[in-house]
Structure 1
Amino acid sequence: MTLGLTRGVLPSFYERLRDELTFPLAWGRSATRDFPAWREEARAVVGEALLQPPAPGPEPFDPETVDVCDAGPYTSRTVEFALSRYGRARGSLLVPHGSGPFPAVLVLHDHGSEFTIGREKAVRPRSATDRLARATVWAERHYDGRFVGDELAARGYAVLAVDTLGWGDRGPLAYEDQQALAANLYQLGTSPAGLAAHEDIRAAAFLASLPEVDERRVGALGFSMGAYRAWQLSALSDDIAAAAAVCWMTGVKEMMVPGDNALRGQSAYFMLHPGLHRRLDIPDVASLAAPKPALFLAGGRDHLFPLVGVTAAYTKLRAVWESQGAGDRLTTTVWPDTGHVFTSGMQEAVYAWLDTWLARDPTRSGGNRPATDSGVG
């Protein structure tokens, strides 16, 4: 065998490397048989792969309201808070009118190689005219013309959206500079994906801390890269009670094949934790959220996530949730005629699912009712 390159950027021996991935820490393979103990052990391994350690001790958020406007059934605010020990960031916060505390959703924006807007992909910008135009075009292209954050706020949820490093107020990053950013962060002992994960954990904690929010009923929602961040956040944060992920789930081995988008680098660096897959597969990491409610939606015609990877991952996820007697808390669905988009129909399914698990106060209604799993198909 010639030890060189084949099929573009893959090494000629990539299949042997792929076959060596046995995911020894996966639930069912790990020698640890107690699920809470396994979760703690696996979380620690993921934490090491994030590369960026959390700050010692709790840090104050020190929030400030930058602007406020009335948006009909809810108030739209721009808030600034300490997102990490390195500095502050701005977020879009929507709060329904009326008496809280309200259920809440952290909406995590997509990638899409569009860096001039971030949180504006989820929440309608009301003060920056140029961003409103770009955000409207983006919503038409990927969300059937809707801003999912505003839709949720109109339904009675408090909503927070924050820019990831490189997007919106924290950018804009150029597509071709993503690998340089990743290389520079690796040199500094961290990574784009690790920083994003820690910031998402911090944003969830901030949302749960707000007096308008019921800290027991905080969810995460995202499409595409935002979906990856949503299920990852539920796996790593106890502040998230339920998560819905649209169009981002697969297995490592199914992803590492010629032609897959992840092999191009660039955007992959925001969803890549070095060395982690020697221990855990992608759905193994997502399974750290069990037995919390989890929703995964996929498009049957999604060119970024072919069905072979989606169905393999769904099978792994289901085995974990069912092992914990929580199969009714996991919904895994493929929309056969849908591509890599978050259609209005998918949105309505997500909103209904969130209502099932977050909308009702369990202390007043006797607990949330279980979701019905629709299976793969």
Structure 2
Amino acid sequence: MLTFASVAAYAQQPASDVGNFYPLLDAYSSKNNSRLSYLSRNWRSVEKWRKTAKAQLNELLAFNPEPAPLNSEILSTIKRDGYTQYLVRYNVNALQKTEAFLLVPDNLTKPAPAVIALHDHGGFYFFGKEKHTLTDNQPEILVEYVQNLYEGRYYANELAKRGFVVLCPDAIYFGSQKLDPEQLIAPKGYFEAIEEADRSERIKLFNKLAGPNEIAMNKTILTSGTTWLGIIAQNDRVAIDYLLSRPEVDPERIGCIGLSLGGLRSTYLFGLDSRIKAGVIAAFSTTYEQMLQQHAHHTWMMYVPRQYQFLDLPDVASLNAPRPLMVMNCKQDKLFSIAGMQAAEEKLSGIYGKMKAADKFACKYYDVPHSMTIAMQEDAFAWLEKWLK
């Protein structure tokens, strides 16, 4: 029987995405979390901490496929203003291939700095790399998408015009690695609907099919013994291997950048691979503590069982500290709370400060919704130029 006191106690509980289960999960998560954070103790050796934390994270990501030679090939070549755009394909492991755009600036006389540009999610699965790289004959749905998230500018091309070699790979479940509806178990009504639809409507219908199917995809990934983010991170690290196979690239000047899911990808690529010398994370910065109550409704691609026990999300990015890192937050972002953004900033600022490298970390806030505006792009370009050129 509920008493007045118990009703009052329930009324004082914060509203949550999981309702009355939040106190249980919050209490459990508060035990021994982030135990491998650089701030968790006074580590005698930065390198020993880094090695220990990376090994634990790789174990949790749980994706160690059989490697394979790149066997890269160029599928098409387009000369554009100031650079050449190649469509390339290469192996990311013995069971997977991906496609990517490679943008090479004109008139290179020596190996140049390079940037891996990591595409977003946005519920737009039909395309990957095309969401931030200029392509011809774009459907209207893609034009509108780029306008909404990037103010109509394809930032990968802008980087190429500024002298960077740029690689834009597709992640699993997007673009060249997207879901094949013909191999699904009876997607009800899908094929009948696309017969009557124009190009943009067919893409919209595909995105609507792929979105809910993330649930089945992630259940199957977990059952297979790996994690979705583990697959993504492994694929993205092979992007560095591909860049290193190109004579146009200076191996000591490679950076990464991404918005939203691309920001998450940038977090893990920057953190896990010391070959990345500078990073930019746009609109994907928070702490797990803030996500527990609310805002834990992101794509299934981001969740790694037990990771919070060892490393918070900003701790992952810190694994490459004191290499230069910029985080860009959107004040009107509905996917993350301001408190979460500020908590992540505080943690990363503390780590870089403890390493006596405060000048190599920057965090900026923009009064815009979830996006990478032209102003944000310009700040990111300046950061990459400062540290890679």
TM range (shorter): 0.7 to 0.9
Does residue 338 (structure 1) correspond to residue 374 (structure 2)? The answer is: no
| Matching residue of 2:176 | 169
**Within 2, Cα distance between the matches of 1:149 and 1:135?**
16
Residues 49 and 183 (structure 1), Cα distance of their counterparts in 2 relative to 1, 3 Å cut: same
Shift of 1:308: 0.5
Q: Is the 8 A contact 1:124 1:135 kept in 2?
A: no
Opposite residue 133 of structure 2, the aligned amino acid is V
**Within 1, Cα distance between the matches of 2:16 and 2:371?**
29
Shift of 1:285: 1.4
Shift of 1:9: 3.7
Residues 20-59 of structure 1 aligned to structure 2 (within 5 Å) = 20-30=31-41, 32-55=43-66, 59=68
| Matching residue of 1:369 | none
What whole-Å deviation, never above 9, does each CA across 1:233-262 have from its counterpart, x for those lacking one? 11101221100011111100011114x2x2
Q: Is the 8 A contact 1:125 1:132 kept in 2?
A: no
| Matching residue of 2:166 | 159
| Matching residue of 2:236 | 200
Shift of 1:54: 4.9
Opposite residue 339 of structure 1, the aligned amino acid is P
**Within 2, Cα distance between the matches of 1:104 and 1:159?**
6
Secondary structure, aligned partner of 1:352: helix
Secondary structure, aligned partner of 2:143: helix
Shift of 1:133: 3.6
| Matching residue of 2:323 | 292
Residues 218 and 300 (structure 1), Cα distance of their counterparts in 2 relative to 1, 3 Å cut: same
Q: Is the 8 A contact 2:285 2:344 kept in 1?
A: yes
| Matching residue of 1:97 | 106
| Matching residue of 2:116 | 106
How many residue pairs get aligned? The number is: 345
Shift of 1:32: 3.7
Shift of 1:18: 3.0
Opposite residue 52 of structure 2, the aligned amino acid is E
Residues 293 and 254 (structure 1), Cα distance of their counterparts in 2 relative to 1, 3 Å cut: same
**Within 1, Cα distance between the matches of 2:338 and 2:17?**
23
Opposite residue 28 of structure 1, the aligned amino acid is L
Q: TM-score, normalised by structure 2?
A: 0.85
1:217 to 242, 248, 253: 253
Residues 1-377 of structure 1 aligned to structure 2 (within 5 Å) = 9=18, 11-12=21-22, 13-30=24-41, 32-55=43-66, 59-99=68-108, 100-126=110-136, 129=137, 131-172=138-179, 174-258=210-294, 260=295, 262=296, 264=297, 267=299, 269-335=300-366, 337-359=367-389
Residues 21 and 299 (structure 1), Cα distance of their counterparts in 2 relative to 1, 3 Å cut: farther
What whole-Å deviation, never above 9, does each CA across 1:139-183 have from its counterpart, x for those lacking one? 101001001111111111111111111111211461101011011
What whole-Å deviation, never above 9, does each CA across 1:292-333 have from its counterpart, x for those lacking one? 000001012212122101111111101111111211111111
Residues 123 and 42 (structure 1), Cα distance of their counterparts in 2 relative to 1, 3 Å cut: same
**Within 2, Cα distance between the matches of 1:110 and 1:21?**
32
Secondary structure, aligned partner of 2:213: helix
Opposite residue 119 of structure 2, the aligned amino acid is H
> Structure 2: where are the runs of 5+ without partners?
1-5, 7-14, 180-206
Q: Is the 8 A contact 2:18 2:293 kept in 1?
A: no
**Within 2, Cα distance between the matches of 1:223 and 1:111?**
9
| Matching residue of 2:200 | none
Residues 333 and 55 (structure 1), Cα distance of their counterparts in 2 relative to 1, 3 Å cut: same
Q: Is the 8 A contact 1:205 1:239 kept in 2?
A: no
Secondary structure, aligned partner of 1:256: helix
Opposite residue 37 of structure 2, the aligned amino acid is A
**Within 2, Cα distance between the matches of 1:8 and 1:180?**
21
Secondary structure, aligned partner of 2:89: strand
What whole-Å deviation, never above 9, does each CA across 1:45-104 have from its counterpart, x for those lacking one? 000011112546xx4212111110100210011011111221322111110111231111
Shift of 1:30: 4.2
Opposite residue 114 of structure 1, the aligned amino acid is F
**Within 1, Cα distance between the matches of 2:82 and 2:328?**
28
Please give the root-mean-square deviation of Cα atoms over the aligned residues, in Å: 1.9
**Within 1, Cα distance between the matches of 2:140 and 2:157?**
16
Secondary structure, aligned partner of 2:293: coil
Q: Is the 8 A contact 1:222 1:230 kept in 2?
A: yes
Q: TM-score, normalised by structure 1?
A: 0.87
Secondary structure, aligned partner of 2:253: strand
Q: Is the 8 A contact 2:39 2:350 kept in 1?
A: no
> Structure 1: where are the runs of 5+ without partners?
360-377
**Within 1, Cα distance between the matches of 2:263 and 2:254?**
16
Q: Is the 8 A contact 2:272 2:319 kept in 1?
A: yes
Largest Rg, 1 or 2: 2
Q: Is the 8 A contact 2:288 2:313 kept in 1?
A: yes
Secondary structure, aligned partner of 1:210: coil
Secondary structure, aligned partner of 2:212: helix
